[in-house]
Amino acid sequence: QVQLVQSGAEVKKPGASVKVSCKASGYTFTAYYMHWVRQAPGQGLEWMGWINPNTGVTNFAQKFQGRVTMTRDTSISTAYMELSRLRYDDTAVYYCAKDGAVVLLLSFDMWGQGTMVTVSS
C-alpha cells in the first residue's frame, strides 16, 4: 500500500536550518509530484510547494521562496524539504503529501505522518 514515512522530530535554534525527509513506498515515486504542507500548533494547513521527483523541478509558495529547498533521491524514493533561517513562527508540523494524479492536480491523496519542528532558543 502507498505509504509516506517521515523523519523524526527536530528542535532547532532561530537562524538555523532543518531538513525533513519523506520516504515513499507502494507506488512509482517518480510518477507523482510531492508536496510539503505545514501546520502551526492549533492552526490550519499551509502549502509550501512541490517537487517533481522525476525531473527535480520545484515550485514554491511565494511566502517561502528564498528560504525553502526541495530535493529528492530517486534511488531510495525519498523527498527532502529544507527550510533555512528558521524563525520562532516556523514551529509547526511539516507534512509531505503525494499529489493525486500523474498530471499535477494540486491535491493530496496520501500524507506522511508529519514531522514536528520546534524553533526554540
Partner 1 sequence: SYELTQPPSVSVSPGQTARITCSGDALSKQYAYWYQQKPGQAPVLVIYKDSERPSGIPERFSGSSSGTAVTLTISGVQAEDEADYYCQSADRIGAYRYVVFGGGTKLTVL
**Which of 5, 11, 40, 45 touches partner 1 (CB under 8 A)?**
45
Applying the rule CB under 8 A, the residues between 25 and 44 that interact with partner 1 are 35, 37, 44
Cβ at position 75, least distance to partner 1 in Å: 26
**Distance separating alpha carbons of residues 1 and 24, to the nearest angstrom:** 10
Instruction: Pick between residue 11 and residue 106 the one whose CB is nearest to partner 1.
Output: 106
Q: Cell numbers at residue 106, please?
A: 494540486
Q: Verify binding: residue 111, partner 1, rule CB under 8 A.
A: yes
Dihedral over alpha carbons 38, 121, 9, 23 (to 10 degrees)? 60
**Least distance in Å: CB of 88 to partner 1?**
20
Applying CB under 8 A, does 62 fall inside the site for partner 1?
yes
Rounded least distance, CB 111 to partner 1, Å? 4
Q: Does 100 bind partner 1 (CB under 8 A)?
A: yes
| Sole window of 16-24, 67-75, 84-92, 103-111 interacting with partner 1 (rule: CB under 8 A) | 103-111
User: What is the maximal distance between C-alpha atoms in the chain?
Assistant: 42
Of the pair 72, 98, the CB lying nearest partner 1 is at 98
What are the beta bridge partners of residue 22?
6, 79
Helix/strand number for the chain, H first, E second: 0, 11
Give CA–CA dist 14/22, Å, rounded: 23
